[in-house]
Structure 1
Amino acid sequence: MSAQHFVFLLVKNHTHLTLACATEPLRIANMISGQELYRWSYASEDGVSATASNGSVTLVQHGFGALPPCERLFVIPGLGMTDFITAPLLACLRRAKAGGVAVGALCSGAWILAEAGFLDGMKAAIHWEYHDAFAERFPDVALVRSVFVADERHITASGGTATADLMLHLIEQDHGYDLSIAVSDMMVYAGAREATGEQRISLQSRHGMRNPHVARAIAIMRGALEEPVPPGSIAEDLGISVRQLERLFGRYFNTSPSRYYMELRLDRARNLLLQTEMSVSEIAVACGFQSLGHFARLYRKHFGGPPSSQRGRIA
């Protein structure tokens, strides 16, 4: 059996944790099996080196213009990712796809694949910090909150340890459950997640509660940030009274359902201000505020400054 060759495209400021979580499971699989099941190499735009967001420098074997034959290719970006989507990078990805290579993305890499037009009509995972901006920028992509998506033509993972989850999944798929578990054990990684695992700790875990009404109420709110649903409608959907809904939010969050809902919408507005070039008025509408003045007043009160003061990208 010949080794599978993985090529990792390292974009400037890529996330070093993601790179380590991508390659170490492959190395350990080789070590445990006593065979070269996997090979991997790195590519950067200049074909010499790539600098991670933590300052680590990785020497690479290839430039974006001359990749070797490979079975899988993953793009790994990181901080300020949108500033480093270059023509050579997109051309490299398109050539690989046209050549039949399985092209995937890690961390914020789904944004780059979406920019190249690869993900329309598909499910995709991206680091949670980019969710709001990604959903606005790429409405034809079915964004999910899962740690990774492996059942589409283009595999995507949300970065960090989610990359290790994906690699363990691929090892199991290629060489069986026993090897995957042995690799996980060697990594002292007992918490490997399935693809459908959520990126962030569940609401129940964060707040130490098991109340299905509260969890469902928040799910309704999160699904209707652009067109807010009145508390009465939420309570009716849950089959409880408004008064009971208010008691539950007072118990678990020390606030009212309306206030909690408002803060969800303001948090989304802040994400869009940081991550996109949408105008403040467009963001206000996208977060369910019909009056720009009302939005600005609430934003200033909540965050201590006007919306315009927090313009910029994630740094």
Structure 2
Amino acid sequence: MSDDSFVQKGAAATLAVPYVGAPQDFYFLLLPKATMLPVAAAIEPLRIANQVTNTKLYRWYIMTETGAPVRCSNGMVVTPDTPLAPLPPDAMGFVCAGVEPQDAASETTLNWLRREHRFGRKIGGICTGAFALAQAGLIQDHAFTLHWENQPGFVERYAHLKPSPNIYEVSGALMTCGGGSAATDMMLTLIEERHGKQLAIIVADMCLHVRSTSSTAPQKSNYAVAIGSRNQRLLSALQLMQESIEEPLSIGALCRELDISRRQLERLFSRYLDQSPMHVYSDMRLAHAFALMNETSLSVTEIALASGFNSATHFSRQFKRKFGASPHFFRKSWA
């Protein structure tokens, strides 16, 4: 990328930023099947910050392992600026992944991540980049996150690491985000830290982005929004179910935890969800199994147990009822 292309003309009034120094460099390492949305959502705030200040505050580069084009999860092909190479001392590198992240990073990539970390470079993860960071042994005691869809498979693979439900996490030199527009929020935080709140606000407005008030904002809509109700007992029941996937509670245990009768619980679910409590609970566990089926090499029996089914046969019947194919056929068709 030409050095002149980092600052472009725009119609918005220029904001004077009292800054003298070298631009900050960002390198985005795209793994095969990386999700394009969060990559663009991370780069655009940098471009806009340069545009509205008419100053080269940031530079950004796309990397792939060999320098060859990479096909993203949406099928589009991205031509990188450079193959893997040592990062400049003050640069920050983000590993960007997407679907099937457990197989995306090669040993060459992992060794590059380890080397950059060893030399004190700031390394982060976008969307499911945390898989590569965990494989490289870089997460350790850091707070981190990745896309909520991929968290069940990640936890099964790295039981000692617990991702947060937040949109992004900053922990020392490690920055991670769940993908999508969370990448914009993460970059706005960096812009504000380096050049002030006013610039971050203008950049967010230029992105037509309503900035999250905090990194601790959850990635998913809460149950109250999802079901259109703030009934506290119903919300508590759903939360208990979600927290007890591997060892599901009986309906009697749920009622005791909630201090509610079985009839009251069934009426709540019927009124707001038009389903029985056990049907909702079963669907939660099957959704968990679906994620494990896609992103782990666990056997069908192991997935059944991890999803709260005591019998692989019963699990297979329920899985086929929900998704239209047996677990074995489903996995074979996606191989």
Q: TM-score range by the shorter chain?
A: over 0.9
Aligned amino acid, residue 82 of structure 1: Q
1:292 aligned residue (312, 320, 330):
312
SS at match of 2:283: helix
Corresponding position of 1:182: 202
In structure 2, the residue matched to 1:216 is 236
Say yes or no: does 1:261 pair with 2:284: no
Deviations 1:245-265 (A, max 9, x none): 111111111111122111111
Cα shift at 1:58 = 3.3
Matched, 1:76 2:96: yes
Tell me, yes or no, if the aligned pair for 1:274 and 1:313 is still in contact at 8 Å.
no
- In the alignment, the residues of structure 2 paired with residue 310 and residue 194 of structure 1 have an alpha-carbon distance, to the nearest angstrom, of 39
Any idea what the Cα deviations from partners look like across 1:179-228, whole Å, max 9, x if unmatched?
11111011111254521122222221122111121111111111110111
Question: Using a 3 Å threshold, how does the CA distance of structure 1 residues 88 and 193 change in structure 2: closer, same or farther?
Answer: farther
Task: Name the structure 1 match of 2:39.
Answer: 19
Q: Give the letter for the 1:50 counterpart.
A: V
CA distance in 1, matches of 2:212, 2:149: 21
1:67, distance to aligned residue in structure 2 (A)? 3.9
The corresponding residue for 1:271 is 291
1:160 aligns with 2:176: no
The two structures have a TM-score, normalised by structure 2, of 0.87
Pairing 1:151–2:166 present: no
SS at structure 1 position matched to 2:182: helix
Where does 1:87-166 land on structure 2 (aligned, <5 Å)? 87-166=107-186
Residue type matched to 1:303 in 2? F
- Cα 1:308–1:22 change in 2 (3 A) is same
Correspondence for 1:197? 217
Distance of aligned partners of 1:166 and 1:252 in 2 relative to their CA distance in 1, 3 Å threshold: same
CA distance in 1, matches of 2:90, 2:229: 47
The answer to whether residue 209 in structure 2 is matched with residue 227 in structure 1 is: no
* Secondary structure at the counterpart of residue 125 of structure 1: coil
**Which whole-Å deviations, capped at 9, do the CAs of 1:57-103 have from their partners, x for residues lacking one?**
43333221444444311011223333331111111111110111111
- How far off its partner does 1:161 sit? 1.1
Q: Which amino acid aligns with 1:43?
A: M
Are 1:275 and 1:313, in contact at CA under 8 Å, matched by a contact in 2? no
Query: Distance between the aligned counterparts of 2:195 and 2:66, measured in 1?
Result: 35
Aligned to 2:264: 244
Contact preservation (8 Å) 2:127, 2:177: yes
- After the TM superposition, which of the residue ranges 65-74 and 40-49 deviates more from structure 2? 65-74
Partner SS state of residue 160, structure 2: coil
Maintained 8 Å contact 1:275/1:314: no
Q: 1:312 to 1:15 in 2, by over 3 A?
A: farther
Gaps of 5+ in 1: none
CA contact 1:124–1:141 (8 Å) conserved in 2 = no
What is the distance in 1 between the residues matched to 2:325 and 2:78? 40
1:306 and 2:326 correspond: yes
Whole-angstrom distance in 2 between the partners of 1:162 and 1:33: 23
SS of 1:88's partner is helix
> What code does the residue aligned with 1:134 have?
F
Contact 1:133 1:271 in 2 (8 A): yes
Q: CA deviation at 1:112?
A: 0.8
Q: 2:332, 2:150 → 1: CA distance?
A: 13
Query: Percent of aligned pairs with the same residue?
Result: 37
CA contact (8 A) 1:78 1:108 kept: yes
Residue type of the alignment partner of 2:240: I
Deviation at 1:13, TM superposition (A): 2.4
Distance 1:44 1:259 in 2: 45
Structure 2: runs of 5 or more not aligned: 1-20
Count residues with an aligned counterpart.
315
Deviations 1:286-305 (A, max 9, x none): 11111222222222223232
**Alpha-carbon distance change, 73 to 310 in structure 1, aligned in 2, over 3 angstroms:** same
Q: In the alignment, which residue of structure 2 is the partner of 1:3?
A: 23
What SS does the corresponding residue of 2:256 show, helix, strand or coil?
helix
SS in 2 for 1:135: helix
- The residue type equivalent to 2:288 in the other structure is R
AA partner of residue 276 (structure 1) = T
